[in-house]
Amino acid sequence: MDSKPPEGNHVLAVLGCGFMGTALLKGIFVSTSNAESRVKRYIACVRTEKSRERLQTLFGATEAVEVLCDDNIRAAKEADVVILGFQPTDVKAILDDSSMACALHGKLVISMLAGVSSAAIYQVLETASRRQSNSLEEKFRVVRVMPSIGAQINKSVSLIAEHDLDDENATFVEWLFGSIGAIQKIQEALMDAAVAASATTHALVVTSIDALVDGSVSRGIPRAVALRIAIECMLSASSMLSKGTELAELKDSMSVPRGITTEAWIHLDQGHVRPAISQTVRQAVDYAEGMN
């Protein structure tokens, strides 16, 4: 195995550069546009010509990005850091190949595949590698990371599963995903549950804003004004919580006698909103864990 490239000289490939892979690349470019990047070249792999044209249009002015169509093995060979961004159902179709296993041997593999454990990826790669070699010393460096949709505007919350990477690779992973927002380390056993909670939160926020806007419009508030009010109020409340305000403290500060917010809470409780949200999270976790 060749020696690792020096810091700032990495080649990063995204196998399956769809919605999340594109958001990740966009976020990295925004965050490193005025700073020294640790990646000198990016390779985005897609399955169709339509997707290739889409990415070429998006990154056309960026010489550091090469877009390949249906050529994952070439990308894996040329890169030293490989992100798995394809559909989880395609794990065996893409990784269960001796040439792919050889290309990924000894390299940093970052999996963004929902519901697929690092152990499952190890198993597929090791099985594929043994078809080409009798050696049992094949080594793959795999870590699971799940960014959120906010990656494209550098507001991601990237979940990083516990791993056994060396310091150099661990530092690179934290730099890469730290450049697009916040990172949260978590035990891999809880990864699927945390991803489900994240996904449910996004669904809840979008649904809540949609309902808030519709309700406001029905009482005469212009849609654009209602949308801005809903967005800014959610941002202010979440910002206070992120800066250390306790949930109970925030609620108490808004619970004034005969207050409008208090009336809103009572009505929400009458509609069983809180238990419905909790149950939605539980069902999402069960679904995510059932993907393994």
Residue 168 and residue 214 in one domain: no
In a domain, 3, yes or no: no
Q: Is the pLDDT of residue 206 over 80?
A: yes
Average pLDDT rounded to a whole number, residues 55-74:
88
Q: Is the pLDDT of residue 214 over 80?
A: yes
pLDDT of residue 292: 66
In a domain, 1, yes or no: no
Average pLDDT along the chain: 89
Q: Which helix (H) or strand (E) holds 144?
A: strand 141-146
Q: Is the pLDDT of residue 136 over 50?
A: no
pLDDT of residue 133: 59
Of 71-80, 125-134, 139-148, 277-286, the range with the lowest mean pLDDT is 125-134
Last-in-domain residue among 131, 153, 186 = 186
Residue 121 near residue 94, CB atoms below 8 Å: no
pLDDT of residue 2: 47
pTM of the model: 0.86
CA nearest to 199, candidates 172, 159, 164, 236: 159
The more confident residue out of 121 and 139 is 121
Contacts of 121 (CB under 8 A, 6+ apart): 84, 91, 95, 109, 111, 113, 140, 142
Residue 206 and residue 103 in one domain: no
pLDDT of residue 6: 52
Which CATH number characterizes residue 270's domain?
A: 1.10.3730.10
Identify the sign of the CA torsion 6, 74, 67, 144. negative
Domain that holds residue 17: 10-186
Q: Rounded to whole angstroms, how far apart are CA atoms 117 and 178?
A: 22
Sheet holding 39-46, edge to edge: 65-69, 39-46, 10-15, 81-84, 108-111, 141-146, 156-161, 181-186
